[in-house]
Amino acid sequence: MNGAGAARPAYLDNAATTAVDPRVAAAMAECLTGEGAYGNPSSTTHAYGHEAAARVEAARAEVAALVGARPAEIVFTSGATEASNLAILGTARANADRRRHLVTARTEHRATLDPMRRLEREGFAVTWLAADRDGRIAPDAVRAALRPDTLLVSIMQVNNETGAVQDIAAIGAACRAAGALLHSDLAQGVGKLPTLFAGQVDFASFTAHKIHGPKGIGALYVAAAARPWIAPIVFGGGQERGLRSGTLPTHQIAGFGRACALARAEGTADAARMAGLRAALWRNLSEMPGVLPNSPLADGSPAILNVSFEGVEGESLVTALEEIAVSTGSACSSASGEPSYVLRALGRSTELAQGSLRFSLGRFTTATDIERAGDAVRRAVTRLRGIAP
């Protein structure tokens, strides 16, 4: 965790939310070492199984409550990646003989883009929508893309690189009017912005580690009315009403449930505090010339501030910044060294996309972290600009 005077770098990387809340860790530990919650939740013949099943169902109710769903509409998966794969591949393959058109945006997470590309190779038609300079997808653009054979639209609520927020309610209304299904990746939205979309979306992806829960657990919301449209992509023991086979990881699920309960109780206050810190960070950074926001400052997610620095390489900046843990773009694209496809899709030049940093804020981010980060970045940018050829 972060803190004033800590020897470790201030943590502002890939959703600072990946720091596990100690209260979540406690809920998980109870299932590993506790009085019998280590049973297999599918074993209904003894008390150990019953105890584990009770924990799983309590957690399912917490996840459902966070998004206004019914518990039976929550399918546990290994995270948002698997949830989005299930929503996209699971509906496409179940309906390939009826409808073969899909709609998404170029700025989506890879967990959506890659299954879509896979389906293109399998003969589906995909319409790739463009975002405006602020990263927004116009609901009218979605409406215009819909065809009689459109099966599924997939548009995320909050972009993980820029924090741009989409109007999911309006996009959902357009889809419903045209008889198309809507999937939304809510991984960056839940716990920070209102996400009571039950009734407006048919499928929604979540992951626990973006709300201070453990990695490796998430869920797909499957609206009861949409259940006939989706089929499993993993086969086996038939858990999760046949939609996701495999033994349920009780400790992971209990941690996810606790994280959701905390997000429901504290998310609004967390978000308000993060919005203040994000504004302070922007004020500090924008005192320098040549600093351009890639995040919508007025209405973007309070958890993300993405900034480009003219005349500076993002990678050199990250290396120079020993006092803070931060990255350029997403964890996935920064591994490849390619400039962010999201920033490129918003019309940023290769240079500006490469000269960008993404700051993530979470429940444990402090004013001291923000001050340290802002000052360190300004020093590093000034120094790197001084030695640039």
Ligand X SMILES: *Cc1c(COP(=O)(O)O)cnc(C)c1O
Q: Which residues bind ligand X (CB under 6 A)?
A: 79-81, 109, 111, 156, 160, 185, 187-188, 207, 209-210, 218
Contact between residue 360 and residue 304 where contact means Cβ atoms under 8 Å apart: yes
- CA atoms of 107 and 316, how far apart (whole Å): 25
Closest approach, Cβ 161 to ligand X, in A, equals 9
**Two tokens at 111?**
């967990």
Catalytic residue among 31, 175, 260, 332: 332
Q: Is 260 a catalytic residue?
A: no
**Residues 286/278, Cβ–Cβ less than 8 Å:** no
Q: How far is the CB of 133 from ligand X (least distance, A)?
A: 20
Strands (E), the chain: 10-11, 74-77, 101-105, 125-129, 150-154, 181-185, 203-207, 218-222, 291-293, 304-309, 324-325, 356-360
CB of 18 to ligand X, least distance (A): 9
CB of 188 to ligand X, least distance (A): 5
E-state strands within 261-329: 291-293, 304-309, 324-325
Residue closest to ligand X (Cβ)? 79
Distance CA 350, CA 340 (A): 9
Length of the chain: 389
Quick one: 100 or 358, whose CB is closer to ligand X? 358
Q: Which is nearer to ligand X, 188 or 306 (CB)?
A: 188
Written as six digits, the tokens of 159 are 């972009």
Q: Judged by CB, which is closer to ligand X: 259, or 312?
A: 259
Nearer to ligand X among residue 156 and residue 376 (C-beta): 156
- Residues annotated as part of the active site: 332
